[in-house]
Chain A
């Protein structure tokens, strides 16, 4: 079912990671990604992997959930790995073979890098509600308002999009069921037939998306929404001791990885 898509889904919980301020987590994820791309040798990769596993354990996110999120990326991961295995020059594994030790080394690192990248961002979205995420982002980007970047408008658009993804998925599910009940067939037939079969889903979906947008706009206006100016928030974000601690740990971690890289590890 469409519902089972976990990409960008929030799993409520009360672990330490869940409780961190969204700003802390956003910054930490950026540091994590930089660290991941700074890792060079196996020790560096090992350190990032270990850190990821520890974070998963703390936030109670299981391998199953991560794997579900990785599934759509499987093709890209396998393709990258194959390209690296076959197109890296070096010492052949067996005399005369095209596969080299260097290729395998690079392929495994590539897989690790993609998997860890996705896992890291998933840990963010799994442990942070979309609302908290956009609030945090708006606060972090606040300085850009001085440069007349419409930060508030951008983040409110983002939070609406995030808010409506589950609704639209649900709606798609419903429309699909209704058309299936009239014998629509989405699974068999040629590519063109299948593309055509999408029409009975897309038309009602767009109609309802526009209707919803309209209703939402009216609802916002009738509650006097007029943009970000002078707007306060219901949930004030406060950085706590644990946030500073988490930021220090993240920064030290990145520093450590850079040092390792310096020594080629």
Chain B
């Protein structure tokens, strides 16, 4: 089980210098086991800073983070162990590949965990299959692969630790549409098959609407919205105000409403849009 509780979390970078910057302030959240959570927010709103607290890469300036009721910063050992329990995939993770072969790079995390050779082998193969990397690539150098492949190998490197919580910081940034879809599908499959908690930082509102069961919106270092996609996307004006986009369907629905078509309810998927338009048409005919 893996339940995350965040209490009064704040972080200030370079405290006490002229470059002092409070990136997040007083964040309180409870993320139960197995939830698929989307983190939204403008660039610089503190999302990356926040997620780096969840595996103790950054230490809170104040507040604490509990994993299954235990403070992850309790001591050096818990700080290290939490890295396997909470897997964090950084933005542009392909830049961290360093081993001579794809196989060794995916196995780096499990090796650090102190696992045996066979266990590592099993995990590497499993992680590779999760992200759709064929065993033929295992002996290749990660540096000679395409951008999308590199990205998937980097994600596999974290999945190979079998984290109960998987966090991905903008995993599709800079990929072509096919690459994006593939990676999102991989992540969903991991969540479905392992029951892990997934937190995903994303700027793609359509993905967020389609895949996440809960959305947390950051602005200026604080949480400004927290709820189901339905709750969050029923307040599109606020999202636009803090510099975010809305899903395509929501945008179309808003445009239609502006033109005088009365749509009911929150609209954030194509199906909902279709239904709302049909319903409005029906109402107009009566």
Seen from chain A, the residues whose Cβ lies within 8 Å of a Cβ on chain B are 1, 3-4, 11-12, 64, 174-175, 177-185, 199-200, 203-204, 207-208
Instruction: Assess whether A175 is in contact with B158, with CB atoms less than 8 Å apart.
Output: no
Chain A residues, Cβ within 8 Å of B109: 182-183
Cα-based distance from A182 to B57 in the complex (angstroms) = 11
- Closest A residue by C-beta to B94: A204
Instruction: Assess whether B108 is in contact with A181, with CB atoms less than 8 Å apart.
Output: no
Taking the complex as formed, is B220 at the interface, i.e. its CB lies under 8 A from any CB of chain A? no
Cα-based distance from A1 to B15 in the complex (angstroms) = 11
Q: List 19 A-B contacts (CB under 8 A).
A: A1-B14, A3-B13, A11-B18, A174-B90, A177-B57, A178-B93, A178-B95, A179-B96, A180-B57, A181-B87, A181-B89, A181-B90, A181-B158, A182-B83, A182-B157, A183-B80, A183-B83, A183-B161, A184-B108
Taking the complex as formed, is B253 at the interface, i.e. its CB lies under 8 A from any CB of chain A? no
Chain A residues, Cβ within 8 Å of B88: 181
Instruction: Assess whether A182 is in contact with B161, with CB atoms less than 8 Å apart.
Output: yes
Given A183-B80, A185-B80, A204-B98, residue A178 in contact with residue B90 (CB < 8 A): yes
Taking the complex as formed, is B146 at the interface, i.e. its CB lies under 8 A from any CB of chain A? no
Cα-based distance from A179 to B52 in the complex (angstroms) = 13
Chain B residues, Cβ within 8 Å of A3: 13-14
Cα-based distance from A203 to B112 in the complex (angstroms) = 18
- Closest B residue by C-beta to A178: B96
Which residue of A1, A175, A185, A199 contacts B96 across the interface (Cβ within 8 Å)? Answer: A175
Which residue of B14, B87, B98 contacts A203 across the interface (Cβ within 8 Å)? Answer: B98
Chain A residues, Cβ within 8 Å of B18: 11-12
Cα-based distance from A185 to B80 in the complex (angstroms) = 9
Chain A residues, Cβ within 8 Å of B55: 181
Which residue of B14, B84, B93 contacts A4 across the interface (Cβ within 8 Å)? Answer: B14
Main SS of chain A's interface residues?
A: helix
Taking the complex as formed, is B225 at the interface, i.e. its CB lies under 8 A from any CB of chain A? no
Cα-based distance from A147 to B93 in the complex (angstroms) = 49
Cα-based distance from A64 to B18 in the complex (angstroms) = 12
Q: How far is the CB of A64 from chain B (nearest CB, A)?
A: 8
Cα-based distance from A200 to B104 in the complex (angstroms) = 12
- Closest B residue by C-beta to A12: B18
Residue from A12, A64, A183 having most chain B Cβ neighbours under 10 A: A183
Chain B residues, Cβ within 8 Å of A204: 95-98
Instruction: Assess whether B57 is in contact with A181, with CB atoms less than 8 Å apart.
Output: yes
Q: How far is the CB of A17 from chain B (nearest CB, A)?
A: 16
- Closest A residue by C-beta to B91: A174
Cα-based distance from A7 to B97 in the complex (angstroms) = 30
Taking the complex as formed, is B241 at the interface, i.e. its CB lies under 8 A from any CB of chain A? no
Residue from B52, B87, B90 having most chain A Cβ neighbours under 10 A: B90
Q: How far is the CB of B79 from chain A (nearest CB, A)?
A: 10
Q: How far is the CB of B190 from chain A (nearest CB, A)?
A: 16
Instruction: Assess whether B95 is in contact with A180, with CB atoms less than 8 Å apart.
Output: no
Chain B residues, Cβ within 8 Å of A175: 95-96
Q: How far is the CB of B114 from chain A (nearest CB, A)?
A: 9
Chain B residues, Cβ within 8 Å of A1: 14
Chain B residues, Cβ within 8 Å of A208: 95
Chain A residues, Cβ within 8 Å of B97: 204
Q: How far is the CB of A94 from chain B (nearest CB, A)?
A: 43
Cα-based distance from A179 to B98 in the complex (angstroms) = 10
Taking the complex as formed, is B256 at the interface, i.e. its CB lies under 8 A from any CB of chain A? no
Cα-based distance from A158 to B171 in the complex (angstroms) = 36
Residue from A64, A180, A208 having most chain B Cβ neighbours under 10 A: A180
Cα-based distance from A207 to B105 in the complex (angstroms) = 15
Cα-based distance from A179 to B55 in the complex (angstroms) = 12
